[in-house]
Structure 1
């Protein structure tokens, strides 16, 4: 769910050492030794796109100017190195005071006691969307601040759709295509397009495999029961979702090489006009802004309900930081309404606070399409978040990738796929 190519591709983070939480209290000036022995010095490690890095640098400078004696050492690393570095640093006690983590991986760290418990320490906690608070929580306690989110919607090449006679496009959840209507659109496109072009691409490649769960949720299904451990994947709803997504390949609606283990992402196919439509996260809108064809965004299709993926990231502090007080102050600053609005506007990402009207944000790139993403975000339910942030999801995802690949490209039956997934979920949660 979260890169310009790699910045949001979910990876499985390995659990490391168990640590004790540092004490927290509010303050206006800071003393005490950090990891490097400096008073009021924080280390902050993140990955970032160009616009994200620029925003982080500006906000860090603002925080330092508003907090006498505080310094923040911002370190930007490639996403594909981020969590292997964090894991190694946690195991040696040399982790940064603060780091960025996608919601899908946060549970791995919080469940192992590696993050600072922020119970009672988040400013204006009631101002955050309940689903996003769920995303940073483990066993009812928050272990980070939900810094931003991004969700997938459907981008459409209006020229290619018009050539196929498709001009009536949905604009909101109220008139989103049903699965049947989406299938009709794909069928028209398949008949209109040449053999080397495809109706659409789905962004479930590699680390994005959990995005398949959006279709499961749309069908009214679930991966895990409310207890967070019992598998619910072998169900009629899951059979419907798997059968429908399997038909993408059977009907020639997607490229045969675009399955979950593909190395070519949906946004690349769309920008190269290999596909007429693509499921894409809002964070990729800036990368697609300069294409030489007209495109817009429409909502994801709906079945029993609307649903999308949980993209975005939290900011967390490590449990054994010597700067717990300052780290907490920094997290609250970064997740404040003003800072969050500034960050989201610059990066085409979405806020996690209810006191920010996302529809009024002056997005830097293609503000005309952002209302669709803002509306799409309302389809995320707390129960979805609980499953997408499960500490077991990383292990389950490995099995999901293998089984979906077999179903999509090797003809494995729906029943056999769901049975194998059910067994894998049971093994992961046992």
Structure 2
């Protein structure tokens, strides 16, 4: 069965049941528990077809390299993933290893549910990852996971619509990315030229993707948390600037009025339907666009404000605190994030590596390889201090605050009130 990435992101349940992967064991019942066998690890994840194939290949290679060791893999639909994990943690029978988004990682680490990998990792492992990626798996100064891959939002554009509006000067290097003012001018030009019912762009901040709004805050050279991952810093000139800029998307009618953070319509769906000319999106969207888009399209860089910035998406691999096999779990995590395994996974799944030795031009996506450098260049603009904030243990409480206040701003709430409310809500969520 073909697995649509867009359907996957929309959590439509395209995978209806756990998958039995050849060469791997299987833990039934919608979620695994740590195996009692000292030589067996249980690993729970979700994934697209390409991602699951990458995990299957890594597991097979690990088992070949470690005679007698076995990985039982349980693949579940994304919309069931963390309901299952949370229930298993509560019941005391979680898998040994699981996959987790960076914005969720901090909640598990902060509650003591993940294994501190410090005593179990090989010497020098930290140096195999980018500073930004390593910052995203820290809690209290210790690593509670390994960064498996990342993704970040660039701008996918409908070349036909831009050309019809007379927009042909599209940035091809990250240094030449549109400024906020230049993007606004492009949006005005598109608005004047596009047919009724078609908009200049849509932003991918729906659902938990509201953390992608933080890219604009970072571009304004702002922060929402201090280095303690608890004290709010968003009530600032930069915070007000980011709110004002994003609110202008609605005031100027550059985006559909439904393009809110709580919308049930994902931004990419509007782009595929041809009702927006541009969309913020990650590299994971490339395979769908290559097979689905019925127009010429390309990718350019996210805009720059006071500085360049972006969202640090993707996922880490973690071991649960109660695993009885910490050394085996750490060895597996190191193996899956080794250069060869990460390169194969990222190239086939159109995702970005977290290792600097794969950011030297040696990575090329299997689909539309010429676009690899755009996303690698965009990811290079994500700063370690930005990624570290998103690893806060309180992100699950901060996300609804951002959603509520941004949607209020999009309806006309002024920027000063918005950031003041955000600051109070963040303080309530973190206990600061």
1-side partners of 2:179 and 2:34: how far apart? 54
Residue 215 (structure 1) aligns with: 216
1-side partners of 2:426 and 2:10: how far apart? 21
Secondary structure of residue in 2 paired with 1:233: coil
Residue 247 (structure 1) aligns with: 248
Secondary structure of residue in 2 paired with 1:402: helix
2-side partners of 1:148 and 1:98: how far apart? 16
1:196 aligns with 2:197: yes
Contact kept in structure 1, 2:347 and 2:366, CA below 8 Å = yes
Residue 347 (structure 2) aligns with: 345
Q: Measure how far apart 1:5 and its partner are.
A: 4.0
1:56 aligns with 2:50: no
Q: Which stretch of structure 1 is more off in the superposition, 132-141 or 281-290?
A: 281-290
Residue 17 (structure 1) aligns with: none
Residue 307 (structure 1) aligns with: 309
2-side partners of 1:399 and 1:337: how far apart? 38
2-side partners of 1:387 and 1:286: how far apart? 30
1-side partners of 2:217 and 2:85: how far apart? 32
Secondary structure of residue in 2 paired with 1:368: helix
Distance 1:9 1:95, change over 3 A: farther
2-side partners of 1:63 and 1:199: how far apart? 47
Contact kept in structure 2, 1:197 and 1:275, CA below 8 Å = yes
Number of residue pairs matched by the alignment: 404
1:235-283 Cα offsets, whole Å, 9 max, x none, are 1111111111101001110000111111111111111111000000111
Contact kept in structure 2, 1:9 and 1:206, CA below 8 Å = no
Contact kept in structure 2, 1:261 and 1:401, CA below 8 Å = yes
Contact kept in structure 1, 2:137 and 2:146, CA below 8 Å = yes
Residue 128 (structure 2) aligns with: 127
Contact kept in structure 2, 1:231 and 1:422, CA below 8 Å = yes
Secondary structure of residue in 2 paired with 1:99: strand
Distance 1:175 1:165, change over 3 A: same
Q: Measure how far apart 1:61 and its partner are.
A: 1.1
Secondary structure of residue in 1 paired with 2:121: coil
Residue 24 (structure 1) aligns with: none
Q: Measure how far apart 1:38 and its partner are.
A: 2.4
Distance 1:127 1:63, change over 3 A: same
Which of 362, 365, 370 is the matching residue for 2:364? 362
**Structure 2 stretches lacking a partner, 5+ long:** 12-32
TM-score by length of structure 2 reads 0.91
TM-score by length of structure 1 reads 0.91
1-side partners of 2:295 and 2:399: how far apart? 35
2-side partners of 1:91 and 1:7: how far apart? 27
1:356-389 Cα offsets, whole Å, 9 max, x none, are 2353213111111121100000111111011111
Contact kept in structure 1, 2:120 and 2:326, CA below 8 Å = no
Contact kept in structure 1, 2:120 and 2:327, CA below 8 Å = no
Please list, as runs of the form range in 1=range in 2, the aligned pairs for 1:195-344 lying within 5 A after superposition.
195-290=196-291, 291-344=293-346
Contact kept in structure 2, 1:153 and 1:279, CA below 8 Å = yes
2-side partners of 1:362 and 1:239: how far apart? 39
1:79-134 Cα offsets, whole Å, 9 max, x none, are 11111110110111110010000111111111111111111433432121011111
1:112 aligns with 2:111: yes
Residue 14 (structure 1) aligns with: none
Residue 81 (structure 1) aligns with: 80
Contact kept in structure 2, 1:198 and 1:252, CA below 8 Å = yes
Q: Measure how far apart 1:9 and its partner are.
A: 8.0
